[in-house]
Amino acid sequence: MKVRGRAARAARRSRGGCGLKLLVLLMVVGAGLALGWMALLPLLFVQAVRERTGFDAEVASLSANPFTGRVSLRGLVLTNPPTFPVRDGLHLRSLEADVAMTSLLGERLVVATLDVDVRQFTWVRRAVGPTNAEAFRANLAGPVPTPPSAKPSVLVKDLRLQLDTLVLADYSEPKPRLQTYPLEFDQRFQDVSTPGQFLGPAVWRELVERDVVDGLLPFLPPELKSQVVEAARAAESVRRIESSKPSEPFRGFLDKLEETRKP
């Protein structure tokens, strides 16, 4: 009986030792896969951006947790293709996002929070062809245009956008014009699904007061012009209510904008 008892205990210890070894092995494999994912993700991201958009890309760090939906990006630099006269594009300090993982199974990606901190954006306008912002957006979307009635594919519930410096490089005329604006822009937006939602009265009021709109106007895509008019008018109305001073900057901006819309 004693022999059998010792044999049973030895067998249990052996099974317990095998289970512990298996657990340790799984932990080591999991740690290796996590490290491999962390190492490969920035490389895969940069390669995908280059192949899809034609813009060169560099990134200091990128992490994404597939279980929580947390995405963290640091030090992204986008460089314009050689078809643009200026190579500088986007210098992004950081991007932090919380993605609703359940939305990956649906038709619309939902981002609960998005915090974008841009050190500098250089908007380049060529003599012929779209601006660098329009080209990047079109290439990223792909060759198949989205029907006008289609539901936006991305919804950001809470977005914070910071932009330190805006550079407008206009090469559409024989004499290029380069303008640099230290904006120190910091705004929050709710339920964003289209670019036009950034053109609220508060934003345009700030841009007008910083004398940015005159240089910015030629860079705006045609489909945003009507939204800009409405936003500028709303901003002018708010300014008139809050101040008895005449709003010449808004009036001048609206006049110029109306001229550009005429055929």
Q: What is the pLDDT of residues 205-239, one digit of tens each?
A: 777 777 787 788 888 877 676 666 666 666 666 66
Q: What is the pLDDT of residues 124-176, one digit of tens each?
A: 999 998 999 999 989 988 776 555 555 668 899 999 999 999 999 999 988 99
Q: Are 258 and 229 in contact (CB under 8 A)?
A: yes
Range in 104-118, 144-158, 248-262 with the lowest mean pLDDT = 248-262
Of residues 182 and 36, more confidence is placed in: 182
- The one-letter amino acid code at 100 reads A
pTM for the whole structure: 0.74
Alpha helices in 152-242 (DSSP H): 201-209, 213-216, 225-242
Q: What is the pLDDT of residues 21-46, one digit of tens each?
A: 555 555 554 444 444 455 678 888 88
- Which 3 state secondary structure label does DSSP give 46? helix
- The one-letter amino acid code at 152 reads P
